[in-house]
Amino acid sequence: MTARRPSLAVVGATGAIGGVMLRILSQHADVWGEVRLVASPRSAGRKLVVRGEESEVLALSEDVFDGIDVALFLVPDEVSARWAPIATSKGAVVIDDSAAFRLDDDVPLVVPEINPHAARLRPRGIVASPNCTTLSLIVAVGALHAEFGLRELIVSSYQAVSSAGRDGVTALREQLSLVAGTELGTHPGDVRRALGDGAPTSTGPFSPFAAPVALNVVPWAGTDAGDGWSSEELAIREECRKVLGLPELRTSATCVYVPVVAAHSMSVHARFENEVAVDRAHEILATAPGVVLFDSPASGDFPTPSDVVGTDPTWVGRVRRSMDDSRALEMFICGDNLRKGAALNVAQIAESVAAEITSV
Amino acid sequence: MTARRPSLAVVGATGAIGGVMLRILSQHADVWGEVRLVASPRSAGRKLVVRGEESEVLALSEDVFDGIDVALFLVPDEVSARWAPIATSKGAVVIDDSAAFRLDDDVPLVVPEINPHAARLRPRGIVASPNCTTLSLIVAVGALHAEFGLRELIVSSYQAVSSAGRDGVTALREQLSLVAGTELGTHPGDVRRALGDGAPTSTGPFSPFAAPVALNVVPWAGTDAGDGWSSEELAIREECRKVLGLPELRTSATCVYVPVVAAHSMSVHARFENEVAVDRAHEILATAPGVVLFDSPASGDFPTPSDVVGTDPTWVGRVRRSMDDSRALEMFICGDNLRKGAALNVAQIAESVAAEITSV
């Protein structure tokens, strides 16, 4: 007897993360029975290919969740906040990629390499997936934590513009074409003159960034979270604490956009309870699930976004022990913000739920 | 009676830093008597404008230092190592921008805002100026140290390609034109396919970087310094210790090139002996010489390279107290790597030596 394959709804199928999700579903084609593609009424009726077949996009409504076992939400916070409870009321398990439920006590926040069992206890029928910045580092850091006992994280991000959505990529593209005619920012104000101040209110092209992002870096991601912090910086702190089960983990993050299309990088200072050795850290990272160790810098082997984009794992390099602290490691970590940073982690959680359903 | 104005030689006048130096000399036109421009024999005979007048570039030789009071060396390490002792033997005081002497015990390493008096004690007649990465952060950090007592620095750089010289800027320019036709790095290998591996040995255009730098970030600057560290990372550590007079300062740096033409940025975690308050840190930074405080992120006021390029000061924003450590501050700091990061600091040191000479 073959177990019934569970049915899946993909809400937000037409977005940037939705597009990556369809590719992942095509690669993992045998997991799901029916796959229903859902988006806003504006995108309804479009045809998308998944698992080699064309499928029409349905408008988001209560009815689309009828008979659905698992619903993936790849949509803005407010859409998840409104529609996820409707999906669960219809009996679906929701895997949500938005920030709407991540820090709720009765919603597990899951990274399958680290806390897979947390997905089984979901009193509201919702499982949340972390922010792309958290996901870009936590698989590697979690593997080291299991051995050395993590006490403190100080991280600086080099974030890709695609984590600000399609608008982020468009803004970089348009800004690069505008500055191409200048002397590439060698003189004061070149970039500013070409782009205005780059903010949404400027006369330049629309941009989701608070400053020009072409030939520039922008140390502000998300919204104002008080005391000088951005929402993305506090998300890393709170989500790392929750996923790792370390409510007192000391964490300071600085989030910075860089002119890279896809793949986040993080410079990480990690302090542990116990002494660390680079050789042992290398062994752990080389064998940890979901991690690629790429660390021979004198030979040019260190991860960069261009190596990592389109791949599933978290890549780690530049591992060294702090010269003044035998309990701390420095690392440079890269991960594709649209794959493990978003769609892949959601798909992994969904597959673990599917395995539960089919094993009942 | 008017004091004799001292004579100056600018060695490396035709380089990128030399060009910035000539602009600074034109702005501070009344400090120096004769200004002699010197470069490699290859560049000799060129005419450059300084202080509004054309001046012919002389080939580097022993004779060019005859009658020179102060000689600025804006040249590679090996050129400084060979020629600075020749200049001092002719009676000139050398202000050297290279790494050749920075860590020698009998050569002071000077940042005029921090340790101006160190320039007066120069047993070999040489005063060294720090690396551009050290200079991009030390003025701000030094001001906070004077009040709070610095104990640890954890820094991640966002370095401009011009710190790798004219080749760095050319490489970014050529790589940007090559990737312009691609889909901007959204698919795996786009950037790598367009650029080869970006290393000097590849078939792509020459690049001083170990990976593509357009639409990418490169976590490696300088040469292999052992145990996984790059030379630039250790330079920040040793130079901060020497300039601040803190031989035991705990320091971990990660140096990363970003596709920015000019102005270095640094994400800084600074831990102090005493408790810190953001209000007091703001007061210190707002009044510190050589520092601009630009810190109202919710209104879009934080420093980025495009704000800072071409300006003299170190710009500081994103100041906040670590949520888990009342003795630590996070900051984002930007400075023009060719001005304060190189030519301006050398000019400031030279002017302090000129003041000595004229006051004798």
Determine, yes or no, domain membership for A199. no
Asked if the Cβ–Cβ distance from B154 to A269 is below 8 Å, we say yes
Contact between B219 and A265 under an 8 Å Cβ cutoff? The reply is yes
Joined tokens for residue B173: 């320019």
B234 and B316 in a common domain: yes
Looking at the annotation, which residues of A are catalytic? 132, 264
The predicted pLDDT at position A28 comes to: 86
**Residues above pLDDT 90, as percent of chain A:** 82
Average pLDDT of the residues in A96-116:
97
A310 and A262 in a common domain: yes
B318 and B293 in a common domain: yes
Residue B111: helix, strand or coil by DSSP?
coil
Q: Comparing A120-129, A162-171, A278-287, which segment has the lowest mean pLDDT?
A: A162-171
Alpha helices in chain B (DSSP H): 16-27, 77-89, 132-148, 166-179, 190-195, 231-244, 278-287, 305-308, 344-359
A249 and A266 in a common domain: yes
Determine, yes or no, domain membership for A83. yes
Asked if the Cβ–Cβ distance from A191 to B306 is below 8 Å, we say yes
Asked if the Cβ–Cβ distance from B190 to A156 is below 8 Å, we say no
Determine, yes or no, domain membership for B165. no
What total of structural domains would you count in chain A? 2
The predicted pLDDT at position B289 comes to: 96
- Residue A357: band (very low, low, confident or very high) from pLDDT cuts 50, 70, 90: confident
**How many CB pairs below 8 A link A and B?**
239
Distance CA A220, CA B297 (A): 7
CA atoms within 13 A on the CB side of B359: 6
State yes or no: is B28 an active-site residue.
no
Joined tokens for residue A225: 């979270």
- Inter-CA distances, B157 with A108, A267, B266, B287, B360, Å: 35, 9, 4, 25, 42
Q: Comparing A142-156, A199-213, A273-287, which segment has the lowest mean pLDDT?
A: A199-213
Query: Which residues in chain A have their CB less than 8 angstroms from residue B256's CB?
Result: 158, 265, 267, 332
Q: Comparing A112-126, A176-190, A326-340, which segment has the lowest mean pLDDT?
A: A176-190
Q: Give B117 to chain A, closest Cα distance, Å.
A: 29
Backbone φ and ψ for A38, nearest 5 degrees, come out as: -135, 145
Asked if the Cβ–Cβ distance from B310 to A180 is below 8 Å, we say no
Check pLDDT > 50 for residue A42.
yes
List the 133-162 stretch of A: residues with Cβ below 8 A of B. Answer: 152, 154, 156, 158, 162
- Inter-CA distances, A108 with A242, A302, B187, B299, Å: 9, 33, 32, 34
Asked if the Cβ–Cβ distance from A267 to B256 is below 8 Å, we say yes
**List of residues 6+ apart from A120 with CB closer than 8 A:** A356
Q: Give B249 to chain A, closest Cα distance, Å.
A: 8
The predicted pLDDT at position A200 comes to: 40
- Looking at the complex, does the CB of residue B252 fall below 8 Å from at least one CB of chain A? yes
Distance CA A115, CA A288 (A): 14
CATH number of the domain within which A276 lies: 3.30.360.10
Query: What tens digit of pLDDT does each residue of B232-252 get?
Result: 999 999 999 999 999 999 999
State yes or no: is B187 an active-site residue.
no
Asked if the Cβ–Cβ distance from B215 to A306 is below 8 Å, we say yes
Supply the Cα-derived Rg of chain B in whole angstroms.
21
Backbone φ and ψ for B10, nearest 5 degrees, come out as: -110, 105
Asked if the Cβ–Cβ distance from A252 to B262 is below 8 Å, we say no
The predicted pLDDT at position B200 comes to: 40
User: Cα A145–A340–B172 angle (5° rounding)?
Assistant: 100
B353 and B331 in a common domain: no
- Looking at the complex, does the CB of residue B327 fall below 8 Å from at least one CB of chain A? no
The predicted pLDDT at position A189 comes to: 55
Determine, yes or no, domain membership for B192. no
Average pLDDT of the residues in A194-206:
51
The predicted pLDDT at position B206 comes to: 76
Distance CA A254, CA A277 (A): 26
Asked if the Cβ–Cβ distance from A216 to B300 is below 8 Å, we say no
The predicted pLDDT at position B205 comes to: 61
Residue B321 CA from chain centroid, whole number: 27
Query: Which residues in chain B have their CB less than 8 angstroms from residue A330's CB?
Result: 252, 254
Supply the Cα-derived Rg of chain A in whole angstroms.
21
- Looking at the complex, does the CB of residue A188 fall below 8 Å from at least one CB of chain B? yes
The residue from B145, B264, B282, B334 that is catalytic is B264
Q: Which of B215, B258, B311 sits opposite A217 (nearest CB)?
A: B258
Locate the chain B residue with the closest alpha carbon to A305. Answer: B216
Q: Give B5 to chain A, closest Cα distance, Å.
A: 31
Query: Which residues in chain A have their CB less than 8 angstroms from residue B169's CB?
Result: 184, 186
- Looking at the complex, does the CB of residue A52 fall below 8 Å from at least one CB of chain B? no
CA atoms within 13 A on the CB side of B150: 27
**List of residues 6+ apart from A195 with CB closer than 8 A:** A175, A178, A179, A202, A204, A212, A214
A74 and A151 in a common domain: no
B328 and B271 in a common domain: yes
Distance CA A69, CA A360 (A): 13
- Inter-CA distances, B209 with A100, B169, B175, B178, B192, Å: 41, 11, 12, 16, 13
Query: Which residues in chain B have their CB less than 8 angstroms from residue A224's CB?
Result: 297-298
Backbone φ and ψ for B357, nearest 5 degrees, come out as: -65, -45
**List of residues 6+ apart from A82 with CB closer than 8 A:** none
Residue B253 CA from chain centroid, whole number: 16
**List of residues 6+ apart from B352 with CB closer than 8 A:** B112, B116, B119
Asked if the Cβ–Cβ distance from B258 to A210 is below 8 Å, we say no
Sheet holding B58-59, edge to edge: B58-59, B35-39, B8-11, B70-73, B93-96, B126-128
Contact between A150 and B135 under an 8 Å Cβ cutoff? The reply is no
The predicted pLDDT at position B201 comes to: 38
Distance CA A106, CA B227 (A): 45
Check pLDDT > 80 for residue A322.
yes
Residue A313 CA from chain centroid, whole number: 12
A149 and A54 in a common domain: no
List the 192-251 stretch of B: residues with Cβ below 8 A of A. Answer: 192, 197, 199, 210-212, 215-220, 224, 227-230, 237, 250-251
**List of residues 6+ apart from B336 with CB closer than 8 A:** B262, B263, B308, B309, B310, B311, B312
Determine, yes or no, domain membership for B205. no
Asked if the Cβ–Cβ distance from B156 to A152 is below 8 Å, we say no
Distance CA A140, CA A163 (A): 20
Strand partners, B35: B8
Determine, yes or no, domain membership for A178. no
Asked if the Cβ–Cβ distance from A297 to B328 is below 8 Å, we say no
The predicted pLDDT at position A180 comes to: 66
**List of residues 6+ apart from A117 with CB closer than 8 A:** none
Check pLDDT > 70 for residue A1.
no
First-residue to last-residue Cα distance in chain A: 14
Backbone φ and ψ for B48, nearest 5 degrees, come out as: -125, 155
A281 and A149 in a common domain: yes
Determine, yes or no, domain membership for A125. yes
Asked if the Cβ–Cβ distance from B305 to A216 is below 8 Å, we say yes
Locate the chain B residue with the closest alpha carbon to A310. Answer: B188
Check pLDDT > 90 for residue A203.
no
Contact between A340 and A312 under an 8 Å Cβ cutoff? The reply is yes
Burial of A332 (0-12, 13-18, 19+ CB in 10 A): buried
B151 and B272 in a common domain: yes
CATH number of the domain within which A17 lies: 3.40.50.720
- Inter-CA distances, B217 with A65, B67, B147, B159, B202, Å: 43, 47, 35, 9, 18
- Looking at the complex, does the CB of residue B312 fall below 8 Å from at least one CB of chain A? no
Q: Which of A188, A256, A297 sits opposite B228 (nearest CB)?
A: A297
- Looking at the complex, does the CB of residue B264 fall below 8 Å from at least one CB of chain A? no
B71 and B15 in a common domain: yes
Residue B278 is part of which domain span? Answer: 134-160+219-335
Q: Give A262 to chain B, closest Cα distance, Å.
A: 6
Contact between B262 and B336 under an 8 Å Cβ cutoff? The reply is yes
B147 and B278 in a common domain: yes
In tens digits, what is the pLDDT along chain B, a chain of 360 residues? 456 899 999 999 999 899 999 999 999 888 999 999 999 999 999 999 999 999 999 999 999 999 999 999 999 999 999 999 999 999 999 999 999 999 999 999 999 999 999 999 999 999 999 999 999 999 999 999 999 999 999 999 999 999 888 889 889 988 888 776 555 555 545 566 555 544 443 445 678 999 999 999 999 999 999 999 999 999 999 999 999 999 999 999 999 999 999 999 999 999 999 999 999 999 999 999 999 999 999 999 999 999 999 899 999 999 999 999 999 999 999 999 988 989 999 999 999 999 998 886
Residue A52 CA from chain centroid, whole number: 26
DSSP state of B261: S
Name the residue type at position B72.
Answer: L
Locate the chain B residue with the closest alpha carbon to A228. Answer: B320
Determine, yes or no, domain membership for B79. yes
Distance CA A62, CA A78 (A): 16
Distance CA A33, CA B2 (A): 93
Query: What tens digit of pLDDT does each residue of B129-147 get?
Result: 999 999 999 999 999 999 9
Distance CA B41, CA B180 (A): 38
- Looking at the complex, does the CB of residue B89 fall below 8 Å from at least one CB of chain A? no
